[in-house]
Structure 1
Amino acid sequence: MSSDPWGRVDEQGTVYVRTAEGERVVGSWQAGSPEEALAYFERKYQGLEAEIGLLEHRVRKTDLAAKEAQVALDHLKAQVTEAHAVGDLDALAKRLETLTGEIETRQSERRAARAKAQDETRAAKEALVTEAEQLAESTQWREAGDRLRALVDTWKGLPRLDRKSDDELWHRFSHARSVFSKHRKSHFAALDNEREHARAEKEKLVAEAEALSGSTEWGDTAARYRDLMAQWKSAGRAQRDAEEELWARFRGAQDVFFQARSAAFSERDAEQGENQKLKEALLVEAEAILPVTDLKAAKAALRSVNERWEAIGHVPRAARPQLDGRLNTVERAVREAEEAEWQRTNPEAKARAAGMTGLLQQAVDRLRGDLEKARAAGNANRVAKLEAELAGREELLEQAQRSLQEFSG
């Protein structure tokens, strides 16, 4: 009989393995010596040991899935339990139990990691949904639209949750995008309507502007063009192509009118420049009337100047105040001379002046008589009072006499 620390072979060739629970038959050997039998069954043990070592390496050093590791572990446990091998099977069993704990720990860690990843994914998707729902009410169409597209790309890059949760969040996310798209579509439809209305209004303005382009009613037409421009600005914008085409026509019509007006004004200014020279020559003639020494001749000369002045016509606007002012100076001087002559020759005024002079002369004569009496009586107070009153009346009499002399001049 042959044996070693972990097994033996009896005389009949039966092979035993020693375990903590006692001996167990693992096979029989009839083909050779007991030593060869033990060596054979020890090699089977070594094969099991190698498989366990490989599984330990895969569990500890690779990303072997826990399910796959568990299947391999259960298979090896069964092999060790019923192993037809000679060796320290209890040690192999302990290694497998240790590996069982490691696989369970890994499973727990992976479950925790998956749960954490799911929580993070849920939080990320809920944040995307919240932002999308906020953007759904935005009127910043370009920025919000770009941001929603970026959110979709972000969503696609995230892992899936459980079907129910994922579907619920996606439904909210998709609904927010639909609300935004609906609002944007409605906005641009309204904008298109506004632009179409603006186009129709501006076509009317263009038609009127083109109809006015040949007008020679410079003032009224220029004012109307200002009104049309104000209406153009308040009409809103048409579609870009239509806006540019209508504006070109509108500006073109205005340019035709204002260029024609400018040409007409240039011609008029040239003509009025000549008129200015003629009127300046007339002013030299008119100003020669001053000072007025012969009223009749001055009035005749001024009348002649006025007749020719009116016949000349308009002068440039800038020169008008100065020319009219010079002529008004001459006219005012003639009117003042005429007024002075009328006052001098007015019979009623002359009679009033003569009457006033007579009354003042009588008052002076009376005061002189009273003064002589007061002096003869030696009444000093009365003399002083009468002298003061007499001086005042004599001054008034002198003024009245000068006025009466003017009527006789």
Structure 2
Amino acid sequence: MSSDPWGRVDESGTVYVRTADGEKVVGSWQAGSPDEALAYFERKYDGLVVEIGLLERRVRTTDLSAKDANAALEHLREQVDAHHAVGDLDALRQRLDKLAETVAERREERKARKARQSEEARKAKEDLVTEAEQLAQSDQWRVAGERLRALVETWKGLPRLDRKSDDELWHRFSHARSAFSKRRKAHFAKLDAQREEVRQRKEKLVAEAEALSGSRDWGPTAAKYRELMREWKAAGRAQREHEDDLWNRFRGAQDVFFQARGEVFAERDAEQRENLARKEEIAAEAEKLLPITDLKSARSAFRSLNERWDAIGHVPRDARPKVEGRMQTVERAIQEAEEAEWRRTNPEARARAAGLTGQLQDAVDKLRGQVEQARAAGNTAKAEKLERELEGRQALLDQALKGLEEFGG
């Protein structure tokens, strides 16, 4: 018979293992010596130790599922409980019990983590749905569209929830995207219709502009082009593929007209500048008549100058007030001289002026005598009142005398 601390072999070749519950039969060994029997079953024990160690490492260092870990544990426990090995089987059971506790803890941790991740995913998806529903009402078509596409990619990266919750949230999310797409499609369809109306309107404006390009009625046609330009700006924009072509045709028609007008105006401006030089020479001749000393000669000379002036034609608009003002100054001087001559040679006017002067002189003389009498009588207040009246009459007399002088005396 042979034995060691954990097992023995009896005379019949039966192998026993010692446990806390007493000896258990391991098996029967007839192939060799008892020591060989013990050695064989000890190797069996060592194999169990290795397998348990590997399972402990897998549980500790990998994402081995609780289901797979428990299956492996059950398999090892069955082997230990079968008592087909010699060694400290109770220690192995303790290790398996402890490992089972670890697997259970890991399972609860994973369950809690999964619940936490699921709640985070639910919150994230609810936030995506809320944002998508807000974007569904946006009119920022490009920005909102790009953001919705980004939200879809974010959704794809999130874990699934329970089927009911996930389907409900996805339905809301999908509905928001569809609502936005529908609104955007309607908007651009309306915009396309509006731009088609604009294109048709601008086609008409182009046709009008091209029809006017050969006109030589400069003023009215230029005004019409300005009106067409206002209508063009107010019409809005046509489709991109038509807008540039329409504008080039519209602008080209205007260019034809305004280039022709510019050439004509350039010739006219040159002629008007020449006319201005000639009128400035006439104005200088007229100014030599000032001051008027010989009315008859001045009148005759100015008439001749005016005839030459009228025969010349237009000058540049911005120069017209100045050069015409010079001639008008001379003309006013002649008119004033004529009026003065008429007053001087009009007998009736001279008689009226002389009569008025005599009346005023008498009144002045009378008032002056009354002032002297009042002062002599010591009536200062009356004298001052009469003096103020005398001053007024004296001013009228001075003015009348001046007018009488214009009649030669």
Output the TM-score relative to the length of structure 1. 0.84
- What whole-Å deviation, never above 9, does each CA across 1:120-176 have from its counterpart, x for those lacking one? 222222222222222222222222222222222222222222222222222222222
SS at match of 2:317: coil
Q: Residue type of the partner of 2:185?
A: K
CA distance in structure 2 between the aligned counterparts of 1:396 and 1:136, rounded to whole angstroms: 93
Give how far 1:363 is off: 8.0
**1:350 is matched with which residue?**
350
1:43 aligns with 2:50: no
1:86 matched to which residue of 2? 86
Which string of whole-angstrom CA distances, capped at 9 and with x for unpartnered residues, describes residues 278-333 of structure 1? 32333244334333344334333333322332222111223211221111111111
Going from structure 1 to structure 2, the CA distance change for 1:400 and 1:233 (only over 3 Å counts) comes to closer
CA distance in 2 between counterparts of 1:393 and 1:268 reads 63
- Matched residue type, 1:312: I
Equivalent residue number for residue 237 of structure 2: 237
Instruction: Map 1:10-29 to 2 at 5 A.
Output: 10-29=10-29
Residue 360 to residue 57, structure 1, CA distance change in 2 (3 Å): closer
**Following the alignment from structure 1 to structure 2, what is the Cα–Cα distance between the partners of residues 394 and 18?**
163
Indicate the SS of the match to 1:318: helix
Q: 1:95 to 1:259 in 2, by over 3 A?
A: same
Distance 2:168 2:285 in 1: 103
Rounded to whole Å, the distance in 1 between the matches of 2:391 and 2:81 is: 165
What is the aligned partner in structure 1 of residue 339 from structure 2?
A: 339
Secondary structure, aligned partner of 2:17: strand
- Alpha-carbon offset, residue 90 of structure 1: 1.9
User: 1:228 and 1:338, CA in 2 relative to 1: closer, same or farther beyond 3 A?
Assistant: same
| Letter paired with 2:324 | D
How far 1:239 moved relative to its partner? 1.7
Rate the CA distance shift 1:408–1:153 in 2: closer, same or farther, 3 A. closer
**Quick check: 2:237–2:243 contact (8 Å CA) kept in 1?**
yes
Aligned partners of 1:5 and 1:61: how far apart in 2? Answer: 34
Matched with 1:174 is 174
Map 1:296-311 to 2 at 5 A.
Answer: 296-311=296-311
Structure-2 change in CA distance of 1:358 and 1:76 (3 Å): closer
User: Alpha carbons of 1:107 and 1:343: their partners in 2 closer, same or farther (altered >3 Å)?
Assistant: same
Counterpart residue type for residue 74 of structure 1: E
C-alpha deviation, 1:395, in angstroms? 11
Counterpart for residue 287 of structure 1:
287
Unaligned 5+ segments in structure 1 are none
Q: What's the CA shift for 1:273?
A: 2.1
Alignment of 1:237-256 (within 5 A): 237-256=237-256
Q: Which amino acid letter does the alignment assign opposite residue 334 of structure 1?
A: I
CA distance in 2, matches of 1:176, 1:380: 116
Alignment correspondent of 1:260: 260
Q: Distance in 1 between matches of 2:34 and 2:262?
A: 133
Given that residues 17 and 83 in structure 2 are in contact (C-alpha distance below 8 angstroms), is that contact kept between their aligned partners in structure 1? no
Change (3 A) 1:396 1:82: closer
Identify the residue that residue 274 of structure 1 maps to in structure 2: 274
AA aligned opposite 1:134: Q
Distance verdict in 2 for CA 1:399–1:126, change over 3 Å? closer
Asked whether the 8 Å contact 2:360–2:396 carries over to 1, the reply is yes
Q: Does 1:192 align with 2:183?
A: no
Q: For 2:6 and 2:365, how far apart are their aligned partners in 1?
A: 183
Question: For the structure 1 residues 162 and 334, does the alpha-carbon distance in structure 2 shift closer, same or farther, using more than 3 Å as the test?
Answer: same
CA RMSD of aligned residues (A): 3.6
Q: Give CA-to-partner distance per residue, 1:45-87, whole Å, 9 cap, x none.
A: 3333333233223223333322112111111111221223333
Deviation, 1:367, is: 11
SS in 1 for 2:84: coil
How far residue 236 of structure 1 moved from its aligned partner, in angstroms, is: 0.9
Give, in whole Å, the separation in 2 of the partners of 1:190 and 1:331: 70
Aligned equivalents of 2:256, 2:267: Cα separation in 1: 17
CA shift in 2, pair 1:338/1:27, >3 Å:
same
Q: CA deviation at 1:392?
A: 11
1:9-408 paired onto structure 2 within 5 Å: 9-356=9-356, 407=407
CA distance in 2, matches of 1:181, 1:102: 53
Further displaced range: 298-307 or 139-148: 298-307
CA distance change for structure 1 residues 351 and 88 in 2, over 3 Å: closer, same or farther?
closer
